[in-house]
Amino acid sequence: MFNKKSILVTGATGSFGKRFITRLLDEYNPSRVVIFSRDELKQFEMQQTLQSPKLRYFLGDVRDKERLHRAFQGVEIVVHAAAMKQVPASEYNPMEAIKTNIIGAENVINVSIDQKIEKVIALSTDKASNPANLYGATKLCADKLFTAANVLSGFSKTKFSVVRYGNVINSRGSIVPFLKKQKKSGQVTLTDERMTRFWITLDQGVDFVITCLTKMRGGEIFIPKIPSMSVVDVIQAIAPKCDVKIIGIRPGEKIHETMITSDDAISTIEFDDYYVIIPSTESKHLEKYKEKQFKSVDSDFSYSSDNNTDWLTIDEFKQLVSENDQIQ
């Protein structure tokens, strides 16, 4: 699907963008890959390690619609990974999160339609489902914009879909590198002993996005089946000899993360390795999916990190952390 295609990635200097682009260059033959991001230093650093005549480095911000128009010229596939994603920063700077995560999403949608992009897939987060913080709320709003954009696209025939998954092991700003840093002091902090989270590796996330780009019909939210783990066990895997200080739930933090709420069950179908929340306008018209082996979930179904049937052991998590230790 990517061979001889022009592909653009927003937020391309982040962990996902760099790994996704590396995979494109190693495994496919795209005609052009556009790296779109607003941080000139990160682009400079990326140029030192990732060099190819097919790469185009494009400074810009998804808040800037005119700049997006220029960058999207001749592009056929867009992966939208740009976001303001730090929960505390979003709580303290709410308008900045709204400008990037919501207005930026609207800009990507409108420019994609204007430039007749073939496929657009947006990266979401488990925090967008039943959100408890502003970051999650902005991502939920963005998810709604992207799934509804298929109606807006009209004659352009641009297809929009969303990929939603959990915490990426070793990603910047996540709990694993935070615990590694705290470990040096002999004490680590924990907000609540009941806390659980979904976990996925960066390569698994990239694989899933590639799979969804091949399967998308427009309007879906794709959710992979991934394991859960209690944060207490995460601490045992990373810093087993450290004292643990309980500090209480932070603003906007949840005990458990949810990727599919019971309210979405009516529109959710299940495959072997993933779920799909299909557009509500098609929930009674599943003919599009009949060539695939799927089943509808129960009416009270929800997919949460505490009711998951797949759990990581401490040893399994240690192995994943060790194997994925080079994320930048």
The pLDDT tens digits for 172-228 are 777 888 899 999 999 999 999 999 999 999 999 999 999 999 999 899 999 999 999
Q: Residue 285: is its pLDDT beyond 90?
A: no
Q: Residue 283: is its pLDDT beyond 60?
A: no
Q: Which has more pLDDT, 285 or 118?
A: 118
The pLDDT tens digits for 124-159 are 999 999 998 999 999 999 999 999 999 888 778 899
Q: What confidence score (pLDDT) does residue 288 get?
A: 61
Calculate what percentage of the chain has a pLDDT beyond 70.
95
Q: What confidence score (pLDDT) does residue 44 get?
A: 95
The fold of 6-166+200-225+258-303 is Rossmann fold (3.40.50)
The pLDDT tens digits for 12-55 are 999 999 999 999 999 999 999 999 999 999 999 999 999 899 99
For the chain, the domains span 6-166+200-225+258-303
pTM (2 d.p.): 0.93
Q: Which has more pLDDT, 85 or 287?
A: 85
Q: Which has more pLDDT, 283 or 36?
A: 36
The residues assigned a catalytic role are: 127
- Tokens representing 290 are 């009949």
Q: What confidence score (pLDDT) does residue 292 get?
A: 62
Confidence class of residue 287 from pLDDT cuts 50, 70 and 90?
low
Give me the mean pLDDT over the 108-119 stretch: 97
